[in-house]
Structure 1
């Protein structure tokens, strides 16, 4: 585990202890006129410094639960308490907690600008599946994210069909004998269950939980070793399975499960088929 930052409403932070997922206390949004509950994805935004550069394939999410808000920025997970009264919006509590992963370049700039803007939001408005957060020289536009297809994903064995390398080139998988790459989630309760997978040379077993409208890996253990010819595939698959974002789509060969790294770009993707 790494260190964690606590962001105050205007972006000032102090060091804290790390946790696997952001922890937040509970505060009530009782009497709110604007319904924000659910998971949202950043579409665009602007600050006094100019527009936010939301790169194609990036996925900045914001989930509202009862008194708790949080999600995934380009590099880090974050969370805070919040209150809504009418259309007035405020982050409350001790500020915003977040994991502390290095974030540089365009992703770092987007993360810093987005989190600072979120701390400056004062009003919220919803129009169907669009959510607008505004403040002094700040505007964030988000769209409602569809629920992950839990019923269609869990209980099936998904075989790796393609993976994308660092250059964005789609590759067919290879594997060691008896190590064909796969992914399987099993449900043992309302909150989650077991997960098993193979990258083609290493195997994983662990637990997944339903967290903020998506599956999150709460515990995992890997074993095995990889030959040089499978190392790029191993890295690609292991990376997306560390913090997966799932999408189910229909293809000519049947249903496909597209898995991306929650903090990656559109190039970080693997595709499974049943």
Structure 2
């Protein structure tokens, strides 16, 4: 093979290699642990049990009082210590915002439950962000942290 032909073949191989390298997948970008993973709305759908909470006044006395949050796409509802509640929720990535919360007006004779309900519902309206780690949902806002555990789906018996 002549030197010119060999040079032409090498040039063609180099051209093909350069073209194919442009088609290769980009190198993976290392994960940045400081940025929370974006959360899809469907990831938050379900029934959540409040396990721990705090606001600007300190820890809320959950003490085993059942408080739930049910998220179904753009709506939220649940059982506060005395009343059920409902409202809208807007979830975009890790940003979560609740609209005005409406609640039933059942009498609550226990002062601890009344205080927990008042502070919990006020805290929900201050939420602006979320983190989801397995079955634990943490909602945060200015001086507010609400931590929930996902409850198992209830089976329907006939």
The TM-score with structure 2 as length reference comes to 0.71
Match of 1:111 in 2: 117
Q: Please list, as runs of the form range in 1=range in 2, the aligned pairs for 1:183-202 lying within 5 A after superposition.
A: none
Q: Please list, as runs of the form range in 1=range in 2, the aligned pairs for 1:7-156 lying within 5 A after superposition.
A: 33=40, 35-56=43-64, 58-92=65-99, 95-103=100-108, 104-150=110-156, 154-155=157-158
Q: Please list, as runs of the form range in 1=range in 2, the aligned pairs for 1:239-258 lying within 5 A after superposition.
A: none
Which has the larger Rg? 2
Q: CA deviation at 1:50?
A: 0.7
SS at match of 2:73: coil
SS at match of 1:114: helix
Q: CA deviation at 1:149?
A: 3.3
Q: Distance in 2 between matches of 1:96 and 1:118?
A: 8
Q: Is the 8 A contact 2:48 2:151 kept in 1?
A: yes
Cα pair distance change 1:53/1:86, threshold 3 Å: same
Q: Distance in 2 between matches of 1:55 and 1:102?
A: 20
Q: Which runs of 5+ in 2 are unaligned?
A: 1-37
Query: Where in structure 1 do 4 or more consecutive aligned residues deviate above 4 Å?
Result: none
- RMSD of the alignment, in Å? 1.6
Q: CA deviation at 1:55?
A: 1.8
Q: CA deviation at 1:32?
A: 5.7
More helix per residue: 2
Q: CA deviation at 1:135?
A: 0.3
SS at match of 1:106: helix
Q: Please list, as runs of the form range in 1=range in 2, the aligned pairs for 1:159-174 lying within 5 A after superposition.
A: none
Q: CA deviation at 1:91?
A: 1.6
Per-residue Cα deviation, 1:61-113 (whole angstroms, up to 9, x for no partner):
00000210010001000000111111111123xx1111001224110011011
Pairs aligned (count): 119
Which structure carries more relative contact order (alpha carbon 8 Å, separation 6+)?
2
Q: Which runs of 5+ in 1 are unaligned?
A: 1-30, 156-274
Q: CA deviation at 1:33?
A: 3.3
Q: Distance in 1 between matches of 2:72 and 2:113?
A: 26
More strand per residue: 1
